[in-house]
Structures are given as structure tokens and as C-alpha cells.
Structure 1
């Protein structure tokens, strides 16, 4: 089996959820022994194949593909399927590269012509149909497998993953629920149902499923979808100004994955809103430590420094923000504000100009730019900026409109000299 096919098999047979865990050694061990089992099975040595599959399950007891492989070995012993047909099935899975999907389909069809009631062959063929993007055929094969063996929980599990990939979320949830009803110990069904629930923003229900899954298999903790559910709910709580609830969720997200910068950023925002400024700064600092190019962390820390009247620190952070993200409108605007207050008018002009370039409707940027241009004796440009302000500013800002009109009159006289 060439390296391309090995890589494809690994990616295909091992869901993206598992590949994101921190248990790389566990994952690698399971994959290696599963692959060795397939090689032995394709060579006709089913005893060695089963030994290797069971070793794979020692690493990862929930590895669905390996569970199916073990079932095939058991079915040979029980004479439910012939040894020859089992070898064909293992050969099919050992030859699963994209270029050979059609050939794999032929091998499975040989088995099904001779043994049309053999359930595992149907959901193996369904996986090939998925690879070939023949999704209706895949769904039909899962239905046949369920009709033949309605008690076999993995069929619902595999079909649920198909529905999830097709964004048929209600059907996916139904299938994962049926898997759990048939086998409440099969933790990946809770995990996958939780993932689907996060896709439809039902974070509370998703988190309930994730906690059950984590008790069974803690190595899923660093999976983004799991700690991300807490992160997303924490962010929603921040938007609703429920800051203590946000802290609870963000603490859990950090506990599950202590190396994800966005969790610290959002916890910092929660702390800042609770006026726990020192804690907020620590979280912003650590977010930057984890991601030195994290513009949002610099911006939020800069904003905190600005509210605490630490102008130098604030300016430094805003400058870092626009260096990383040159089109960050808010950072440019706040730099302009700070330079105006510090009477550093030359420095503020390019920042307000950038805000206007990015958002021509920002009338305050025209107003402050006009003031800075006037202070630096760029009178004609100042007049134009005041005019632009008057064209855009809402009627309720009467005092600022009157001021701008007066400045235009005065500057017009000055510029005429």
C-alpha cells in the first residue's frame, strides 16, 4: 500500500474530531494497529488481523472503524460471512485511495452478491459511496443495514455522520440519539451529537453531551468543538452582559484547552467589564504570549489602558494593532483621539484619514481631522474636512454643527489672506 493511500485511509477512517485531540500517541497507536490489521486481513491472516485490531482498541476503545473490523473477524468465526469474503472486505479497505474507490466498490459488490444480508458490507459500501459523492446511494445502504440489523448501533452512528456532513442536522441528531439509545456507553455518539448541536447554536444541550463524552474519553478535551462550545456560550454571555456566567464558561474552556488565545481574550473582556482590571490585563498578556500577532488582544489591552488613562501604554498597543491589522478602524480612531488629547496633531491626521478611507460615513473622523488640520495650519484641507462633517453629521449634533460652520467662516478668511 503506497503512502498516499495510507494517508487517505487515515484521514478517511479517523474523524476530524479525533485528529484534533492532544492524545497524539494514542491516536497514532490506534491507527498503526488498525492499518496492520487491515494488511494482515487482506493477506488472509485473519487471526493476526484480529489481534492487531484489538490492540488498536486498547489504544482507542471507541474507534468505530476498528470495531467494525473486529465484528467482521467475529462473523467469520461464527460463519456469518466466509473467510474469502472477509479477505475481500479487508482488501477493499486496504485499497481505499480516491483513485481506487471504484475498484473497492467492485470488491464489496462481489461480497454482497453472494451474501446480500451481511450488514457490515452495506455500511462499508456506504462509506465508498460517500467518497464518490453518491450520497443518496450511501443513505440507501445505511437504511438496508438498519433493516437487516436494527440493533447494530454503529449503523445509526455512521449515518448520523453522513447527515451531519450534509448539514441535515435534525436527521443527524436523531441518528446519534438512536445510537445512544442502543448503546449508552458509546461516547462518540454524545460527542458527535454535541458537535451538531453547536452547529445550530444549541450550546447548552451540546455542553451536556460533551461532558458525558469527556467522562468516557478525557483526551477529547482539547477538541475545538468541545472547548469552543464553552467559549461561544461565554461570548454570548458577554454580549448579554452576564459576565459572571461568562467567566464560568471561559474558565471551563481554558481548563479544557489552556493554550487557546481567544479564550483568554474573552475572559479578559469579562474581567474588564467587572472592573477587575489587573486580572483582565493578565489575560490579555497571556493571549498575546500565546499569539504574538493577535491584533484583538493588543486592541483590547490598549482600550483598557486608555480607560485607565495610561496613554503611552495605550498608544503602544494600538500601534501594534494597526501594524498587525492595518485596516483596524477602531484602533486608528482611538489613536487619533489620543493624539488629539495629547495635542500631537501631526500624528493624529493619518489615523483619521485611514478611518475615513475605511469608513467614509464616520462624520466624527472628519470633525477631528478638521480640527487637527486647522491646528497644523492646513486651512484649506481643514475647511474641506469641516464641510464633509456637516454633510454627514445628524441634525441632533447642533452645537458641533454650529462650531464647524463658524470655523469654516473664520478659516475661509484666514486662507484668503
Structure 2
């Protein structure tokens, strides 16, 4: 899924026409303040685009001091605060903007992203829904709403929102990728393949989508295709650990044990605590008859993540070969208790 905030600044034109001489002084001052506020506002945007966040903040502060009801300035100051990591400050500014304009779609969306960052999923969902209610064509609000549903395993709802985003913006590669993931998890394998293929067609540099497509090919036992897709992902994003782990599995299935070990060791050199990679290396060692080494890797994976059921299943298999029947039985029972039902096939 996308990591960028998709929060943007709002630009406002500055008009510098001459004041009519007959206007009362109070009106003249008010108009002058408004023009100065708009200039400070646009200077703030320019500075933001130059990554000068402190200076940008100062300009939005000035705009607000000159025009206390400047809703867009509160919104943009909130964006700057978000970029600076001041989440509470950003939320406060977005609230001011929404209190002044309850139909401000971008403020709903921006606040939703802040809530999402803070882990307040219900508040985020409410704000994304509010953004869509105010502007139904705000495609990235549909997208992030879909992301929330995907993470909550509500796959039908996720697919619906990703589809809405795609219907509004047909070249939205990330929405195709994430809809593919929702469809895969929903059991719609061919539809998922189609979405991943469309994602890489729209964005040939999206390593994530190549990895996801490769994962389906791996599950379908199309190991050569899977291997090539993982290789593309790694070439696009060197050191991509998930793709390296997956290519190691593809190489393992193809009987290329040395290549599999090379891939998985690259992962573990960078991330020694990667329990998934440790489990994969255990599988490689098992296939090359290093049963003690396999059991050791599975044990290390379990130490890092005691709830990782596949490591218990695989360690049980290695222990059985090592004639540790009791240890094997306990491992398989633990795997079943963690929800890995296939481990029950090994129990007496």
C-alpha cells in the first residue's frame, strides 16, 4: 500500500488591483490586510514546496494573524505541522478548518490520515467517509478507506472502495495493486492476477506489485514464472527482503539449493531477526538433510516470534527425523493451537 500522505496544499491567487480612493479607511485597512494575508499564504506554499517547513509555518501564522477566519491557511498550516511530525498540532488545525467549513473535504481527508497514523482506525474511517460525502470524487479518500478495510480483513468492502478509486482515476496503480491483494485474500485468484498485471502495466517500477504477482505464481506452483517476477522486483528494489525470501522459496522448489541459500542469507545478513527468513533457511537446510541446522533455525524463529505457527510445524518435522518424537508432538500441538490446522495431520 502507499505510504505517502496524499495531503496537498491549497493555492490561492493574489489580486493586487488599486484601491478606490473613496473607500473608507477602515475598509481600506481591511482590504490591505486581506491582500497581505493572501500573499503570506502563497509565500507559505512556495516555501513548503522548497521543503522550508519552518519558514512556511511562519508565513501561515502571519496569514492567520492578518485574517483570523482564513480557513485554508489553517488547513495548510496543519499540513506543515503534519510534515514536521506535530500530529496534535495538525489535528487541531484541521479541526478549526472543519468547524469553520464542515464541507471541507480535504480537511476531512488530512485529519483521517493523521488518525490513521496514530492508529485510531475508527476516527480515520469516519473522516474518510466524511471526505467522500463532501467530495465523492476524492479518489484517494476511497483508496485509504479501502486500505483500512483491507487491514481489517473486510475484503468485499475493501474491493468496493479500491474499485471506486479506480473508477475515478483509471491510472491509479496502487489501487490496482491493493485491490489485487484484497481479491487474493478473498479467494479471487484470477481477478487478483489481472489487477497485479494492470498495476505493473501502469507503473513498471512498482516492485511491490511484481512481488505480489510472483507470490500468486508461487502458490499456483508456477515456480519459474514466480522466480522471474521476484527477480524483477529485486532488480527494481535491491535488498527487497520479501522478494528475496520469496525467490529463495522459488529456488528451493526448483531444486536450486545453493541459489536459495544465497538469497536467504542476504536477507539474514541485513536482518538477523527476520523470523520468516529464518524459517525459510530452515526449510532449505531440511531439504539438504541438515536437520540439526534446520531445527536450530526454527528454534531461533520461534524465539523471535513465539506465535509463528509455521516454525513450530517445520521444527516438529525436523525433530521427528531427529527421533525427538515428544518434541515433535508438542510442536505440532502448538502449531494447531495457533490456528495452523494442517499441523493436525501430523498428530497421533
Scaled by the length of structure 1, what TM-score is found?
0.56
Q: Please, which runs of 5 or more residues in structure 1 have no aligned partner?
A: 1-14, 19-62, 86-114, 147-152, 215-220, 375-381, 407-417
Separation of aligned partners in 2, 1:390 and 1:117: 72
Counterpart position of 1:290: 202
Pairing 1:122-271 to 2, within 5 Å after superposition: 123-124=37-38, 126-127=40-41, 133=55, 139=61, 142-143=64-65, 145-146=67-68, 155-167=70-82, 168-180=89-101, 189-201=104-116, 202-213=124-135, 226-271=138-183
Q: Which moved more, 1:200-209 or 1:270-279?
A: 200-209
Separation of aligned partners in 2, 1:291 and 1:325: 14
| CA distance 1:212–1:385, change in 2 (3 Å) | same
| CA distance 1:200–1:81, change in 2 (3 Å) | farther
Q: Which has the larger radius of gyration?
A: 1
Q: Say whether 1:403 aligns with 2:321.
A: yes
Deviation at 1:285, TM superposition (A): 0.7
Contact 1:264/1:287, CA 8 A, preserved across alignment:
yes
Counterpart position of 1:312: 224
Structure (1/2) with the larger helix percentage: 1
Ranked by relative contact order (alpha carbons within 8 Å, sequence separation 6 or more), the top structure is 1
| CA distance 1:404–1:287, change in 2 (3 Å) | farther
Pairing 1:67-78 to 2, within 5 Å after superposition: 69=15, 76=20
Q: Please, which runs of 5 or more residues in structure 2 have no aligned partner?
A: 1-6, 48-53, 83-88, 117-123, 304-311, 325-348
Separation of aligned partners in 2, 1:128 and 1:393: 54
| CA distance 1:176–1:368, change in 2 (3 Å) | same
Q: Say whether 1:345 aligns with 2:267.
A: no
Aligned residues: 284
> 1:203-243 CA deviation, whole Å, 9 max, x = no partner?
432343345346xxxxxx5xxxx422222221221121101
Deviation at 1:322, TM superposition (A): 2.3
- Of 370, 383, 402, which residue of structure 1 is paired with 2:285? 370
SS of aligned partner of 1:200: helix
Separation of aligned partners in 1, 2:113 and 2:78: 15
Deviation at 1:122, TM superposition (A): 5.1
Contact 2:223/2:253, CA 8 A, preserved across alignment:
no
Pairing 1:41-60 to 2, within 5 Å after superposition: none
Question: Root-mean-square deviation (CA), in Å?
Answer: 3.9
Q: Say whether 1:65 aligns with 2:10.
A: no
> 1:239-285 CA deviation, whole Å, 9 max, x = no partner?
21101100111011112222121110011111112222221111111
Contact 2:41/2:63, CA 8 A, preserved across alignment:
no
> 1:48-82 CA deviation, whole Å, 9 max, x = no partner?
xxxxxxxxxxxxxxx7434xx28x66x53761469
> 1:367-392 CA deviation, whole Å, 9 max, x = no partner?
23324555xxxxxxx58845853762
Contact 1:172/1:196, CA 8 A, preserved across alignment:
no
| CA distance 1:79–1:246, change in 2 (3 Å) | same
SS of aligned partner of 2:34: helix
| CA distance 1:64–1:80, change in 2 (3 Å) | farther
> 1:349-404 CA deviation, whole Å, 9 max, x = no partner?
32232233243344323423324555xxxxxxx58845853762649534423535
Separation of aligned partners in 1, 2:232 and 2:171: 22
